[in-house]
Amino acid sequence: MKFKTLYTFLKNDLDLIEQELEKTVMSDYSMLSDAGLHLLQAGGKRIRPVFVLLSAMFGTYDIQRIKHVAVSLEMIHMASLVHDDVIDDADLRRGKPTIKAKWDNRIAMYTGDYLLACSLEAMTKIENPLAHRLLSKTIVDVCLGEIEQIKDKYHVDQSLRTYLKRIKRKTAILIAASCQLGAIAAGAPEQIHRKLYWYGYFVGMSFQITDDILDFTATEEELGKPVGSDLLQGNITLPVLFALEDPMFRIELEKISSDTTFEEINPLIERILQSDVIEKSIKVSDQYLQKAFSILEELPSGRSRSTLYSVTKYIGKRKF
Ligand code: GRG
């Protein structure tokens, strides 16, 4: 089953958001429009807009209002991907050349900045200080998460806590904010939008852990980038943290540096795949999903809750 079939009733609204995203990246400067459109048309799951819309259904759902929130959240995500690809010197994203590879680092930085600015502009349509405070805090956290990731690269002596704090900032908080902001913009009561934040946070933690697992278990075609890219970048993800408990693996991993090649990390990828660390990581991801399900139980029943339930189940099994 495809992810999109879980929420076919949102198709028209998601199509509208797609058109809004295209309109929003347009600028008088073809360089910015071309680069923005290139990333948009490369695909992407648009899960943040989906969470915005489903959460908005807990309030007064008005797509003409909610679309600005969905566009804003997807544009922050896009801006962060464009900057991330410069930081990681990555050539492929969503199976297509990155902006920095197709153009150059300078244009990628301008494009990322422009997308972030467009995101803030889209959110001004929501005249609610709480929404803006949450959005600003979220962007600060995403930036801190990235700085922590850079600081922790190649550090084999980091704790599980450090890893969890990093993924909370770099991924989970943006998904949490997508849920809460959708509900806030739709005027949902406080006790509902707060719960949706925590639902999004737990789903987001599981989503990132799964991303870290897929870096080893998926194919290059599924990932849209080479297998083991995170490891090659020196990112100590959950499967790697577990694998470091083996002293022999630790000795091999300590040899990785920015000069290491894909050929050199292949044996490490093989070791990870042959051990139980993937299973152990899936268990941690499942624990977060269980917490997400518990929060869903506390929300009013209806189409939104049941769809969030299916989306959560799918996220636990995703292969993309
Ligand atoms: C400009 C806001 C801003 C931040 C700068 C570079 C940076 C600081 C942050 C990068 C954070 C980052 C890349 C987090 C990864 C998040 C993640 C899980 C990406 C993959 O998300 P998917 O699977 O991607 O939803 P698609 O392609 O489907 O949209």
On the question of pLDDT at 159 being above 90, the answer is yes
Q: 56: closest CA among 200, 188, 190?
A: 188
Among the listed ranges 11-25, 196-210, 221-235, 293-307, which one has the minimum average pLDDT value?
Answer: 221-235
Contact predicate 215/265, CB 8 Å: no
Q: How far is the CA of 81 from the centre of ligand 1 (A)?
A: 5
- For the chain, percent of residues with pLDDT exceeding 90: 95
Using the atom order of ligand 1, give the atom closest to the CA of residue 74: 29
Q: Whose CA is nearest to atom 29 of ligand 1?
A: 44
Tens of pLDDT, residue by residue over 18-44, are 999 999 999 999 999 999 999 999 999
Tens of pLDDT, residue by residue over 137-151, are 999 999 999 999 999
Q: How confident is the model at residue 135 (pLDDT cuts 50, 70, 90)?
A: very high
On the question of pLDDT at 225 being above 90, the answer is no
Tens of pLDDT, residue by residue over 98-114, are 999 999 999 999 999 99
Instruction: Classify burial at 83, counting beta carbons within 10 Å of its beta carbon; exposed 0-12, middle 13-18, buried 19 or more.
Output: buried
Tens of pLDDT, residue by residue over 43-93, are 999 999 999 999 999 999 999 999 999 999 999 999 999 999 999 999 999
Q: How confident is the model at residue 320 (pLDDT cuts 50, 70, 90)?
A: low
On the question of pLDDT at 273 being above 90, the answer is yes
Question: Ligand 1 site: residues with CB under 6 angstroms?
Answer: 44-45, 47, 76, 79-81, 83-84, 87, 94, 112, 116, 139, 142-143, 146, 170-171, 208, 211
Tens of pLDDT, residue by residue over 118-131, are 999 999 999 999 99
Q: Whose CA is nearest to atom 24 of ligand 1?
A: 44
Q: How far is the CA of 211 from the centre of ligand 1 (A)?
A: 11
Q: How far is the CA of 108 from the centre of ligand 1 (A)?
A: 14
Contact predicate 3/314, CB 8 Å: yes
Tell me the mean pLDDT in the region 274-278. Answer: 96
User: What is the model's pLDDT at position 318?
Assistant: 78
Q: How far is the CA of 171 from the centre of ligand 1 (A)?
A: 7
Q: Is 98 in a helix, a strand, or coil?
A: coil
Using the atom order of ligand 1, give the atom closest to the CA of residue 112: 1
On the question of pLDDT at 252 being above 90, the answer is yes
On the question of pLDDT at 295 being above 90, the answer is yes
Tell which one of 46, 84, 93, 230 to mutate to probe ligand 1, the residue whose CB is within 8 A of the most ligand atoms.
Answer: 84
Q: How far is the CA of 42 from the centre of ligand 1 (A)?
A: 15
Using the atom order of ligand 1, give the atom closest to the CA of residue 147: 8
Q: What letter would DSSP give residue 153?
A: T
Q: What is the mean pLDDT of the chain?
A: 96
On the question of pLDDT at 291 being above 80, the answer is yes
Per-position DSSP letters for 182-234, written without gaps between them: HHHHTT--HHHHHHHHHHHHHHHHHHHHHHHHHHHHS-HHHHTS-TTHHHHTT
Tell which one of 170, 203, 210, 230 to mutate to probe ligand 1, the residue whose CB is within 8 A of the most ligand atoms.
Answer: 170
User: What is the model's pLDDT at position 224?
Assistant: 86
Tens of pLDDT, residue by residue over 166-201, are 999 999 999 999 999 999 999 999 999 999 999 999
On the question of pLDDT at 316 being above 90, the answer is no
Q: Whose CA is nearest to atom 14 of ligand 1?
A: 170
